[in-house]
Structure 1
């Protein structure tokens, strides 16, 4: 027992180190393996394998643009189809009331079928209502001081017979004064990117209220997002609170799926029209917005309506659907984050909506629902979207085969 230890040698030193460190290494390996196995799995994500865009064949649409003034056409969610004429600020007359109506409906909304707030008719509104005789203004001459008019009827008076006195009444009701409301009009124009627009009154009677066709289309694209407002502008006629019937100056309605929006005519401004329409393409309802300004060939109201009708009908013909994905086609996969890819397929045929030369985006997303870690084949796990905004087409995508939770080996060897 008192024998000295054997002398150290390289071999004995190596064995001794193994005996000391091997248990530590083994323990470390076990700890790492446990951590790898129990830590949360990465959230599965959808990856697109189909083409990310689709371009309609052919050149830009050749629309029947007016030979004078300026015009513009656009589709909600798809962009501008085209424009004509120099886009310089010009008087827009009663087209101005489109902004007045938009602000009122934005800040005091009511739903289709409702009447909205009740507005007190003041002495000014009654007095100005008689300017149809003295100054040849468009007015609602049936309102009387002390009565009330519903917000719905006020907007209808604004947009159908183009009542200047009601435009001013709404401005005072909303903002306390016409000046304060005009500031709100210009602030809103700036927010909408209407960089060539200046409002100086809520009715458009002032020739200093100016805009461009492209700017008015920007406003029109916001107006068609308000169903209760479109429900008014698309009416061929409106009956006021006294039973008097007023015809819509915009004689595009109710033809060609027209939705209104607003005419504006004065000697200086000529004939002007901001208009909208719809077209059914597949299962989608496409919204089209156009503006024609500065038509001076008499009678100016007939000229601008005729020019707008030609432009509208031609645009409706141009907007078509094109098949981009077939039902059952693999459009992407679920990435489990650990190297596993499970294909997903479209559950129905998918078509893009647009016109020749237009490029639309194709996107694959989860549709706001978390993708499961495992699921049966055929389970819907996301949405394929073609286009944007009101013009987009959406189709669910489903698993082509079962989605399985990552296995032991995948969990153990994952990095990151």
Structure 2
């Protein structure tokens, strides 16, 4: 039986309609539902077409963005590439200089390179060749230009006393005499006066020991890693060097005009010293011979640091060399003369062998400008380029931008770089120009580039 209250309560509550939410319908299904038209049945074709309509605008947008990015990206930096042979070898086979069978030595053409060495190439006493460094330090600290004679320097008692030494090369100077710096350099290099070497050392540095420190510091600065100086004259056998080190010094000191003038003098007359002073280097009157310094002692043998010139294409070219340790002679004076004679044989052959050759011809295609996107525009030499060398020498060609950025575009004939041969003072260069117009990469290359 129904309880009256419950029945009354049930009758009093109105009936509620409970409606579940409809699941979302696909667009086509929803359209069919609204129009009472059933959606077409899905097929692979319809699915594909639907995807095409959705993705095509997105793909087109991405392509447009990609094209814009490709167009505004910075272009690769153009670069020069060498296509000519990177080296050139002088004709004539292998160079054969008449080197001695004893001692050691070296020869080089200034600014070009070594013509060869012989012997052990190890430190050995150099005797009075030491005075080359003495002169270098004096001229470095007290340079002379043009006709300058330099300051007057008074002869002290020590220099006067040492001038009377029997077993040394000296100059007969007297206490109280005054000589200019240039006159003392002449006495240093021509008669090889030991007492003048020590006087100049004291004048420059205050003491011989302090000057020796300057000599070794200068050697270090010049890259003379196997040289040790212990005195300014070379009398001490502990002053040692190598052929290659001495050529480094020769290159440096021969830059001074006054030094070249002095070492090229076969003799000299100095006021206050009787007679004419002869240079121990007795081949100075030979064609093209121009210095530098003799040196001899029992431990060192005969030594000659020399310079010579040869004319190539109307220009003087300096050849530097040294013969060390000539000992195949009985007397010390003959050992020195042996070194001088051996040097002159080398000089004559070197003068004959040093020549020039046309390595690059005017208008020769040397390489190309690579625009980084596949474009290559040839470049040519604007003039003939000759190199200095000797039989068998191999020289290297370098194609560079010459310190300026290679352009993206240019006209035929525009200079875009340089080709060079050699290094340092012997370097020769020629501008290179475009053989044809250099055109900036087009739309297609910009669009398709990668990386």
* TM-score normalised by the chain length of structure 2: 0.77
- Aligned counterpart, 2:141: 108
**Residue-by-residue CA offset, 1:255-290 (whole Å, 9 max, x unaligned):** 432332211133543321101123232366433211
- Aligned counterpart, 1:61: 95
**Residue-by-residue CA offset, 1:285-309 (whole Å, 9 max, x unaligned):** 4332111123343543433322211
CA contact (8 A) 1:140 1:163 kept: yes
Tell me how far 1:386 sits from its aligned partner.
Answer: 2.1
- Aligned counterpart, 1:327: 362
Number of paired residues? 412
SS of corresponding position for 1:256 = coil
- For the pair 1:361 / 2:391, whether they are aligned, the reply is no
**Residue-by-residue CA offset, 1:224-251 (whole Å, 9 max, x unaligned):** 4555543443344556587987544333
- For the pair 1:96 / 2:122, whether they are aligned, the reply is no
- For the pair 1:164 / 2:207, whether they are aligned, the reply is no
- For the pair 1:377 / 2:412, whether they are aligned, the reply is yes
Cα separation, partners in 2 of 1:13 and 1:283, compared to 1, 3 Å: farther
CA contact (8 A) 1:110 1:116 kept: no
Tell me how far 1:192 sits from its aligned partner.
Answer: 5.0
Tell me how far 1:201 sits from its aligned partner.
Answer: 0.9
**Residue-by-residue CA offset, 1:109-145 (whole Å, 9 max, x unaligned):** 7474274974x74665x53144232345444555866
Tell me how far 1:200 sits from its aligned partner.
Answer: 1.4
Cα separation, partners in 2 of 1:34 and 1:391, compared to 1, 3 Å: same
SS of corresponding position for 1:80 = strand
Tell me how far 1:314 sits from its aligned partner.
Answer: 0.8
Cα separation, partners in 2 of 1:39 and 1:117, compared to 1, 3 Å: farther
Separation in 1 of the partners of 2:307 and 2:206? 31
- For the pair 1:76 / 2:110, whether they are aligned, the reply is yes
Separation in 1 of the partners of 2:142 and 2:406? 37
Cα separation, partners in 2 of 1:123 and 1:57, compared to 1, 3 Å: closer
Separation in 1 of the partners of 2:167 and 2:193? 11
Unaligned runs of 5+ in 2: 1-28, 33-38
Cα separation, partners in 2 of 1:202 and 1:36, compared to 1, 3 Å: farther
Structure 1 stretch displaced more, 372-381 or 359-368? 372-381
| Equivalent residue in structure 1 for 2:74, among 40, 43, 47 | 40
- For the pair 1:178 / 2:208, whether they are aligned, the reply is yes
Q: What's the RMSD between the two structures over aligned residues?
A: 3.7
- For the pair 1:352 / 2:383, whether they are aligned, the reply is no
Separation in 2 of the partners of 1:307 and 1:233? 19
| Equivalent residue in structure 2 for 1:204, among 224, 227, 234 | 234
SS of corresponding position for 1:385 = strand
SS of corresponding position for 1:309 = helix
| Equivalent residue in structure 2 for 1:305, among 334, 340, 359 | 340
Tell me how far 1:155 sits from its aligned partner.
Answer: 4.1
- Aligned counterpart, 1:4: 30
CA contact (8 A) 1:284 1:393 kept: no
Structure 1 stretch displaced more, 89-98 or 23-32? 23-32
Tell me how far 1:310 sits from its aligned partner.
Answer: 1.4
**Residue-by-residue CA offset, 1:3-46 (whole Å, 9 max, x unaligned):** 93456956676666666655554444444433433343333222
Separation in 1 of the partners of 2:142 and 2:400? 32
Tell which structure's C-alpha radius of gyration is larger. Answer: 2
Separation in 2 of the partners of 1:72 and 1:247? 27
- Aligned counterpart, 1:260: 291
Structure 1 stretch displaced more, 183-192 or 402-411? 183-192
CA contact (8 A) 2:144 2:150 kept: no
Once the two structures are superposed, the pairs formed by residues 199-238 of structure 1 within 5 Å of their partners are: 199-226=229-256, 229-237=259-267
Tell me how far 1:69 sits from its aligned partner.
Answer: 3.1
* TM-score normalised by the chain length of structure 1: 0.82
CA contact (8 A) 1:353 1:392 kept: no
Greater RCO, 1 or 2 (C-alpha within 8 Å, sep 6+): 1
